[in-house]
């Protein structure tokens, strides 16, 4: 094989290598190569005038539902949705059925992912069965291919177990990801506690349910000296705690999701189950605080918490509906809106959606240096489209952004030099 693709005239944004320039990017045999003086015969040249050429996006927090809930999503369908959203890699959460708490499950996931449309980095469970008791076998999990551990979907209630998880994970070089929720405060809650929960007569989840647990994780990271990653931050209060902890040198990284910087609890109006997730959508003040956190570096990454559910879980009474929304295909457009709003610049977008997730997970990617795998996303920042059910690649359609007019999207995605998504206008 001697296949050369030349991505011409695009704006190459590669913060890992301090590059933001107009030029050409050469891909050969699945890798990025140095440009040559002349275009070889048979090379595929793609003109990318007006487009951005960025390292393949990485979503460090998705639920692919396989094994166990294949009617919602599979590794195949989820990675196709990822490619359509401009992602070349995803980290999949362990709350499948069975839970990914053993090497056998990890190996199954990686086998299913072998020919998928994106790289799949499995995340293992913190505790056996994610039941909050006893550590999973991190050494075995790591050897089988997991890149991090979490009991995502629920918190680790026992503080001693969380401390041990941080210590033991560090011994095996694994990242610990915290789903930060003080369950005794949030139990039975179905949306943010506030104006809307009163109006709708729905049981609220207070801000303190998140901030209390974020504080515990920060305190444990400080105690143990190990790294903790805080998942899906939804509140200004937690953002402040993380900012302060970073200032005093605590080893913490954090992610937020596009819905938290785009929507507020108002989206729940009409008992919209597609606006139900955990943690819940908060207030406008929280939304603004999250945006500032993205701007000032408090947040390292944007992750979608892509959580597919079918109508079986969503077309029901609000308090019985499942938590979560899909996000892979809307993350980039919603983050591009932050760039248009002047909250972040294009370079920062690439950091948040590619460079930093790769660094935090300790995986390849997030860079367009010569020799790197040719995981490349081409973004058309001006392309407008409206989100329809028919247009969604994911097997599930549970998103509050249905019917939205969005601007900017991935138009071409390369995974190891192979095109996994192509939405160029001919």
140 binds other proteins (CB under 8 A): no
Which CB atom, from 132 or from 145, has the smaller least distance to other proteins? 132
Nearer to other proteins, 167 or 319 (CB): 319
- 423 binds other proteins per the rule CB under 8 A: no
Helix, coil or strand: residue 388: coil
DSSP letter, residue 135: B
User: Smallest distance, Å, CB 194 to other proteins?
Assistant: 6
Binding map of other proteins across residues 314-353, x = CB under 8 A, - = no contact: -xxxxxx---------------------------------
Write down the least CB distance from residue 315 to other proteins, Å. 6
Q: Does 109 bind other proteins (CB under 8 A)?
A: no
- For the annotated catalytic residues, the residue numbers are 305
14 binds other proteins (CB under 8 A): no
If the CB atoms of residues 270 and 342 are measured against other proteins, the closer one turns out to be 270
Distances (CA, A) of 9 to 31, 36, 336, 420: 19, 15, 21, 21
Cα–Cα distance, 27 to 35 (Å, whole number): 9
Contact 378, 48 (CB under 8 A): yes
The CB-of-160 to other proteins minimum distance in angstroms stands at 23
DSSP letter for 192, please: E
Q: How many of the chain's residues bind other proteins (CB under 8 A)?
A: 21
- Angstrom distance (rounded) from CA 74 to CA 188: 29
270 makes contact with other proteins (CB under 8 A): yes
* Residue 69 and residue 100 in contact, taking contact as beta carbons nearer than 8 Å: no
Q: Which two tokens stand for residue 304?
A: 């979608």
- Which of residues 38 and 317 has its CB atom nearest to other proteins in the complex? 317
CB of 42 or CB of 270, closer to other proteins: 270
Q: Which two tokens stand for residue 384?
A: 């407008």
Q: What is the DSSP letter of 363?
A: -
Q: Does 285 bind other proteins (CB under 8 A)?
A: no
Residues 5 and 43 sit within 8 Å (Cβ to Cβ): yes
The answer to the question of residue 181 lying near other proteins (CB under 8 A) is: no
DSSP sequence for 280-313 = PP--HHHHHHHHHHHHHTS--EE---B----HHH
Map residue 346 onto helix, strand or coil. helix
- Give the number of other Cβ atoms within 10 Å of residue 320's Cβ: 9
Verify binding: residue 199, other proteins, rule CB under 8 A.
yes
* Cβ nearer to other proteins, comparing 197 with 398: 197
Q: How far is the CB of 336 from other proteins (least distance, A)?
A: 33
* List 8, 271, 385, 407, residue binding other proteins (CB under 8 A): 271
Could you list the residues that contact other proteins (CB under 8 A)? 187-188, 193-195, 197-204, 270-271, 315-320
């Amino acid at each position: 094989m001697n296949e050369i693709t030349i991505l011409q005239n695009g704006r190459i944004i590669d913060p890992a290598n301090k590059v933001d320039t107009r030029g050409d990017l050469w891909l050969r045999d699945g890798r990025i190569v140095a440009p040559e003086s002349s275009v070889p015969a048979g090379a595929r040249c793609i003109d990318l005038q007006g487009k951005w050429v960025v390292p393949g996006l990485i979503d460090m927090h998705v639920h692919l539902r396989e094994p166990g809930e294949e009617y919602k999503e599979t590794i195949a369908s989820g990675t196709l949705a990822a490619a359509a959203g401009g992602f070349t890699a995803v980290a999949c959460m362990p709350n499948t059925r069975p839970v990914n708490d053993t090497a056998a499950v990890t190996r199954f996931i990686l086998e299913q992912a072998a020919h998928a449309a994106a790289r799949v980095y499995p995340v293992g469970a913190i505790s056996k069965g994610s039941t909050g008791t006893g550590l999973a076998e991190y050494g075995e999990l790591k050897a089988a291919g997991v890149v991090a551990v979490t009991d995502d979907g629920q918190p680790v209630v026992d503080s001693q177990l969380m401390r041990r998880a941080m210590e033991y994970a560090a011994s095996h070089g694994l990242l610990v990801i915290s789903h930060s929720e003080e369950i005794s405060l949030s139990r039975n809650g179905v949306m943010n506690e506030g104006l809307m929960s009163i109006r709708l007569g729905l049981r609220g989840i207070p801000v303190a349910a998140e901030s209390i647990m974020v504080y515990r994780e920060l305190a444990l990271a400080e105690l143990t000296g190990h790294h903790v990653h805080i998942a899906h931050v939804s509140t200004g209060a937690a953002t402040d705690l993380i900012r302060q902890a970073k200032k005093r040198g605590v080893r913490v990284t954090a992610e937020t999701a596009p819905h938290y910087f785009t929507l507020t609890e108002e989206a729940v109006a009409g008992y919209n189950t597609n606006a139900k997730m955990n943690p819940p959508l908060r207030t406008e003040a929280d939304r603004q605080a999250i945006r500032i956190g993205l701007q000032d570096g408090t947040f390292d990454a944007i992750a979608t918490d892509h959580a597919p559910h079918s109508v079986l879980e969503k077309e029901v009474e609000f308090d019985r509906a499942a938590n979560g929304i899909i996000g892979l295909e809307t993350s980039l457009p919603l983050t591009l809106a932050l760039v248009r709003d002047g909250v972040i610049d294009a370079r920062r977008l690439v950091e948040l959606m590619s460079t930093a997730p790769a660094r935090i997970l300790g995986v390849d990617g997030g860079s367009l240096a010569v020799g790197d795998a040719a995981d490349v996303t081409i973004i058309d920042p001006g392309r407008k489209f409206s989100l329809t059910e028919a247009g969604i690649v994911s097997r599930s359609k549970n998103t509050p952004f249905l019917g939205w007019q969005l601007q900017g999207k991935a138009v071409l995605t390369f995974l190891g030099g192979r095109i996994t998504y192509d939405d160029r206008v001919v």
